[in-house]
Amino acid sequence: MDNIEAIRGTKDILPKKVIYWQYLEKTASEILTKAAYQEIRTPIFEQTPLFERGIGEATDVVGKEMYTFTDRGDRSITLRPEGTAGVVRSYIQNKLFASGGVERLWYSGAMFRYERPQAGRQRQFHQIGLELLGSKAARADVEVIAIATDILKALGLKNLSLQLNSVGSKEDRQTYRQALLDYLTPYKDNLDSDSQDRLSRNPLRILDSKDKKTQEIAQNAPSILDYLGDDSRHHFDKVCTLLSDLSIPYELNPRLVRGLDYYTHTAFEIISGDLGAQATVCGGGRYDGLVSQLGGVETPAVGWAIGMERLILLLEKLQPLSPQTPDIYFVSRGEKAENYALVIAQNLRHSGYKVELDLSGSNFLKQFKRSDRSGAKICLVLGESEVEQGMIQVKNLENSEQKTVSQDKLLEILTQLIN
């Protein structure tokens, strides 16, 4: 019978890699906490209409990438393809707005999209994201961008660029849409087939196409920045000024429209020069219409999501992290000694030491070899004779010094040897 393997587009994160994930999660959560963001955990699956209404039916995510199924109660369920819709649903349902002022939230976890798997693109992938709800100030946009750049900087990442655009208000986009249509329609036959479809439904999406030829055509399309109304223009200028005040470099990219429908005004991505085709490590922007679209009171909001797999790819290139090693490797032989070693090991852990107990039952020589490979500083040895005499052997693996001490004195000796 064939072995059952992990599903295409999913990956096991094995212990040697988990340390990178833990490092990333710790770094990000510390920076988020410093800026007064609180973690929220929402369910991995939601009612399908949440995403249809929230993300937009004409997007790739909703149109082609969702894991949607009917459950045993005949409900349409979708594994979340992104985090914002669930957070906003929770914000409305739990009346988080009732506290007044702004709500600062962050999340991390698995997302699901049916895409073609490749380096940095999976079907189950992970994001860390934040949402700042309740402020329409340009300062809010800049606060969230600054937090993203801080996280990437704290991780030691270089060769990044912040791409910035404004997609304006709904009204601005109406005017722009016509200008874009006028420009694109003559090229209709040269566009990829998805983009041809979008021409009538959602021409802005064409700017987001991954097709080379379409991208070339889009290169000379009119710029949305020339179609912003006064308020949008003012908001965007302020974002740019504040970014400069914080010495955060950015590049204007009028082609940047992002893949989800809910964005308004500021849209941004952070791109790595070290990742090849899947280069965007963070994407976000303002989404003033989403809360009301999902049934809440009109609430301006801005947020972003970082793709964790892509960051991990960068982190691995940057610095090797090694797994934690035990302080003590514990070797024992003979039933009485083995049983007693279990007790001592447990007590040592309660005293704060990391202890790995050899459970093999093999001879001392084999156990010592494993002890040498364990990375521990100290090897403890307990045989039948030590148990009878109330003694234990302590081997310093760093200089091979070895002594037999009374079990009562063990903690004292260990304190001297392990700091």
Other residues' Cβ atoms within 10 Å of the Cβ of residue 282: 25
Residue 113 vs 377, nearer CB to ligand ATP: 113
Helix (H/G/I), strand (E/B), else coil: 379: strand
**DSSP 8-class letter at 377:** S
Q: Residue with structure tokens 């770094």?
A: 27
Tell which residue, 148, 161, 82, has the closest CA to residue 115.
Answer: 82
Q: Residue with structure tokens 């952070």?
A: 270
User: How many residues are given for the chain?
Assistant: 419
Q: What's the closest the beta carbon of residue 106 comes to ligand ATP, in angstroms?
A: 14
Quick one: 140 exposed, middle or buried, by C-beta within 10 A (0-12, 13-18, 19+)? buried
Q: What's the closest the beta carbon of residue 280 comes to ligand ATP, in angstroms?
A: 4
Residue 135 vs 280, nearer CB to ligand ATP: 280
Q: What's the closest the beta carbon of residue 180 comes to ligand ATP, in angstroms?
A: 19
| Candidate ranges 112-120, 171-179, 337-345, 376-384; the one touching ligand ATP (CB under 6 A) | 112-120
For position 264 contacting ligand ATP by CB under 6 A, the verdict is: no
# residues near ligand ATP by CB under 6 A: 19
Residue 228 vs 281, nearer CB to ligand ATP: 281
Residue 148 vs 392, nearer CB to ligand ATP: 148
Q: Site mask, ligand ATP, residues 288-327, x = CB under 6 A?
A: -----------------x-x-xx-----------------
Hey, what are 171's tokens?
């009204």
Hey, what are 236's tokens?
């965007």
Q: What's the closest the beta carbon of residue 123 comes to ligand ATP, in angstroms?
A: 7
Q: What's the closest the beta carbon of residue 260 comes to ligand ATP, in angstroms?
A: 6
| Candidate ranges 43-51, 118-126, 367-375, 389-397; the one touching ligand ATP (CB under 6 A) | 118-126
Q: Residue from 83, 134, 283, 296 that binds ligand ATP (CB under 6 A)?
A: 283
Quick one: 343 exposed, middle or buried, by C-beta within 10 A (0-12, 13-18, 19+)? exposed
Residue 260 vs 357, nearer CB to ligand ATP: 260
| Candidate ranges 176-184, 214-222, 278-286, 402-410; the one touching ligand ATP (CB under 6 A) | 278-286
Q: Residue from 148, 281, 328, 387 that binds ligand ATP (CB under 6 A)?
A: 281
Sheet of 76-79, strands arranged across: 45-47, 76-79, 67-70
Q: What's the closest the beta carbon of residue 320 comes to ligand ATP, in angstroms?
A: 23
Burial state string for 14-29 with b = 16 or more CB within 10 A and e = fewer than 16: eeebeebbeebeebbb
Other residues' Cβ atoms within 10 Å of the Cβ of residue 158: 11
Hey, which residues between 164 and 203 contact ligand ATP (CB under 6 A)?
A: none
Tell which residue, 210, 209, 200, 164, has the closest CA to residue 180.
Answer: 200
| Candidate ranges 15-23, 115-123, 160-168, 315-323; the one touching ligand ATP (CB under 6 A) | 115-123
Q: Site mask, ligand ATP, residues 330-369, x = CB under 6 A?
A: ----------------------------------------
Helix (H/G/I), strand (E/B), else coil: 156: coil
CA 314, 316, 322 angle in degrees (round to 5)? 150
Q: Which residues pair with 47 in a beta bridge?
A: 77
Q: Site mask, ligand ATP, residues 121-160, x = CB under 6 A?
A: xx--x-x---------------------------------
Are 368 and 379 in contact by the 8 Å Cβ rule? The answer is yes
Q: Residue with structure tokens 């003979």?
A: 334
Hey, what are 17's tokens?
């890699």
Hey, which residues between 6 and 35 contact ligand ATP (CB under 6 A)?
A: none
Q: Residue from 109, 259, 326, 334 that binds ligand ATP (CB under 6 A)?
A: 259
**Beta strand 355-357 with 251-252: parallel, antiparallel or unpaired?**
unpaired
Q: Which residues pair with 127 in a beta bridge?
A: 109, 307
Q: Which residues bind ligand ATP (CB under 6 A)?
A: 82, 113, 115, 120-122, 125, 127, 258-259, 278, 280-283, 305, 307, 309-310
